[in-house]
Structure 1
């Protein structure tokens, strides 16, 4: 299972290298939306795993693609949050965006763990299948949250771009 974390870790630098190209081609907003949508699909692919060893292929591919997409979305988020700010506010904006990511991680892990733990309480007694049955609802929620966030980003950044600027 440690291999899955290594593959995820290998995907993130690829996403970091791809993100500037995506931002240049698609723009910040669309890079975030694309990254989160692909991350949702990659996470959703994990719903097809089972207790067979062959499922490891789905896990490795899904986590790699999810890692690439996640970091592309993060870079787009950071660029969006800091673009157009005076130099004196760049550090504050970077700190706030980084803090928001850390809050998401800090809240997300316990929530997903609680979902898994609650599912384990109603297990069938077959340990590998019981763990899988407990993990799948958390995977579903994680994929759904990625997709919902992509929609919210699209809507919120659309509204932001429609607002008049100070120079208007």
Structure 2
């Protein structure tokens, strides 16, 4: 099924040189140490978290992976502070608003991607949807994100980026909070479609201002690396979120999970998700500037 992406990717690869101007090339050296420690560190932490879902927190392999991952991440930060051409220049985090945007972009995907993973389980294991029907059930989420993402730039120009991001976080939190009391007899239309609509709408209002806050405040020479760190934050947040919240979910299932156990375990995971959304809200509130300007980068 995923092979459908291959021809699309090849088409983009063929057409990109005709429509996208190549950025000026700059001399530099590959940050091998940073690349290895960052990748291995994230893989080790993610593996350790996922393994705890099956073997518990006392599992030696899981603990070894987690400790090794943390050590590698610390080593990565130390390397980035010393090398001449780091893959993640620490100066990107010198600006408080930009650092807050990076942090929020790590936290928000932890919630949204985990929600999608969990809801798929609910739709198929509890409501009995097949794969196609379960996929179509996510249309409200896509619709909500499409509408708000298209209108987010206008809203940012009127009320500012911070207010837009705060509003999106509240809407997102409302959708996650709606899912906390999920039960085995919850109907799709009344208990799943509505929350997904709110989560999608919140995502559209949150991601756009964060992208603007990051990309509009960096030096043009560092726009490429800033975009790379932005995408890494999104993907790392998604991976860590699924690893952490699937562990919380799995902890309450037992050997032969019933529909009630599945729903209750998801409620526990969504409660943790709501706390993560609250943390993202506080980061936005206290790190991003509240002034209004006419430009899209105004916070």
Please give the range of the TM-score, normalised by the shorter of the 2 chains: 0.7 to 0.9
- Detail structure 1 runs of 4+ shifted over 6 Å in the superposition: none
| Equivalent-residue separation in structure 1 for 2:206 and 2:279 (angstroms) | 14
Structure 1 residue 148: Cα displacement: 1.3
Structure 1: tracts of 5 or more residues without a match: 160-168
Structure number with greater Rg is: 2
User: Which of 224, 235, 239 lines up with 1:106 in the alignment?
Assistant: 239
Aligned to 2:281: 150
Aligned ranges 1:11-160 → 2 under 5 Å: 11-54=144-187, 56-121=189-254, 127-158=258-289
Deviates more, 1:28-37 or 1:48-57: 48-57
Deviates more, 1:57-66 or 1:131-140: 57-66
| Equivalent-residue separation in structure 1 for 2:224 and 2:184 (angstroms) | 46
| Equivalent-residue separation in structure 2 for 1:147 and 1:37 (angstroms) | 9
State the TM-score, normalized to the length of structure 1. Answer: 0.84
| Equivalent-residue separation in structure 2 for 1:126 and 1:107 (angstroms) | 24
Q: Is the 8 A contact 2:152 2:204 kept in 1?
A: yes
Structure 1 residue 84: Cα displacement: 3.0
Of structures 1 and 2, the one scoring higher in RCO (CA 8 A, sep 6+) is 1
| Equivalent-residue separation in structure 2 for 1:86 and 1:28 (angstroms) | 20
| Equivalent-residue separation in structure 2 for 1:43 and 1:98 (angstroms) | 23
State the TM-score, normalized to the length of structure 2. Answer: 0.49
RMSD: 2.1
Aligned residue pairs, count: 157
| Equivalent-residue separation in structure 1 for 2:202 and 2:142 (angstroms) | 12
